[in-house]
Amino acid sequence: MNTEIKNMWRKKSWSIPDLLGSKSEYTKIVIGLIQQIASGNANGMDDFPKLEGVFEPRTWREYVPFLKGIGIVGNHNGSLCLSETGEWLHRNLSFYNIASVMQERFRIFGEILYVLDSEPSTVQEVDEKICDLYKLKWKNCSNTRKRMDWLEVLGLIDIIGNRKWVVTESGKRALKEWILVTPEMLDSFEDAEVSYKISEAPTEISNMIQELYDNNLLQKERCTYNLWSPSPNKIENLRKILEYSCEKVTRIELFKYIGDEFNLKVSSIESMMPFLKASGLLEEVGRNIYITSSVAKEWCETGVDIDFIRILHCHYRFVGEMILFAETMLQGMKFIKKQRNMVLIMKRQDG
C-alpha cells in the first residue's frame, strides 16, 4: 500500500495551473466549460465559450492549460473532448468531486486540510506549518494561498474571522475519504528502497524509439543543445508550455503566454526556442506557427516523466547513455565495497 501511495504521489504535480478569471467565478467557469465540452461546443480554440454568470470569459485556448492540467480534457481532430476523468466528472458534477479530481492531480492539496484540521489558522500560519512539515522552500504564500482559494470556492474550508480558516463538513468528509500523504509517510518514501515498474511507452514514442534503434544515422544526428526550461519546477513548467501549444499557436501568442506565465523576457524565450524544437517537443508547421509534437502530446497525456526522458533520448546524445554509465559506476562501487569488506574480514581473522 505504501508503494502505491508513493507512486501516486510521484505522478502528482506541484503546480496548480492558473484559471483565468476572478476567484468568485472559478466554479462557474469549470462547470460551464465541462458542460460546453460535453455538448460538443469546443471546436475553435479562439472562440469564446458561453459561460453563464461569467463577466469576461476567455477563449478556449486560454482555458486549455487549466483543463489539461487537471486532466479532464483531451484533443480529438482539433476539438476538445472530455477525458475519462472528465466524463466521470460530468456525470457526477459537484464541488466535492471537482476537489477530488484536483486532489488526484496535485501535491499538497488535501494535505492542507490535514494541517488546518488541528486548529483554525491564517493563510500565513498554514503556509509556515506546511513548509515546516513537508520541508518545502516556498519563497512566499502564493502556493498555499492558491490551494486554499480552491478549497474555499469548492466548499472544503471556510473563514471564521480574524483571517482564520477552518475545515467544513465537506472538508472533514475529504479527510476521511482521500488518501493523504502525511510528513511521516513522506519520510518513509525517502528511506525505502523501492523497485519501480517502468511503464510501457505510448504508441508514437514507442515508434520513435524503434526508428532510432533501426537507423544508426539518426543516432549520430542527435543534438547536444543546452536544455532550457523556466525554473524552479522545470519539467512541470515545460509541460505547461506544451499543453498550451497543443493546438496551433502563433509566435506572438506563444511568447506572450510564456512571458506572462513565467515572468520571462523575450530574450529568454528566444533562448528556449532552439531547445524546444531540437528536442522534438515543439514543431514549426508554418511561418511563425507552432504546435506541440505528437510525442510531446503523448507525454502530456500520460503525465509519466519517463516518457519525457524517452523523447530526449531520441533527440539528444548522452541521455540514455548516461543511465548505462551510471549503472556501470554503481556496479563498480558495489564491487569495490565488497572487496573492501572481504579485506576487513580477513584482517580480523588474521588478528
Long-range pairs, 256-259, Cβ under 8 A, ≥24? 258/230
Interatomic CA distance for residues 19 and 149, integer angstroms: 12
Q: How many CB atoms lie within 10 A of CB 94?
A: 13
Q: Would you state the pLDDT for residue 69? A: 87
Q: Would you state the pLDDT for residue 194? A: 47
Average pLDDT taken over every residue of the chain: 85
Please report, rounded to a whole number, the percentage of residues in the chain having pLDDT higher than 90: 41
Which tens digits make up the pLDDT trace of 289-302? 999 999 999 888 88
Interatomic CA distance for residues 266 and 252, integer angstroms: 10
* Mean pLDDT calculated for residue range 54-71: 89
* β partners of residue 337: none
* Mean pLDDT calculated for residue range 85-90: 94
76 near 58, Cβ under 8 Å?
A: no
Confidence of residue 340 (pLDDT cuts 50, 70, 90): low
Interatomic CA distance for residues 284 and 294, integer angstroms: 13
Interatomic CA distance for residues 138 and 232, integer angstroms: 10
Interatomic CA distance for residues 220 and 238, integer angstroms: 26
Q: Would you state the pLDDT for residue 343? A: 45
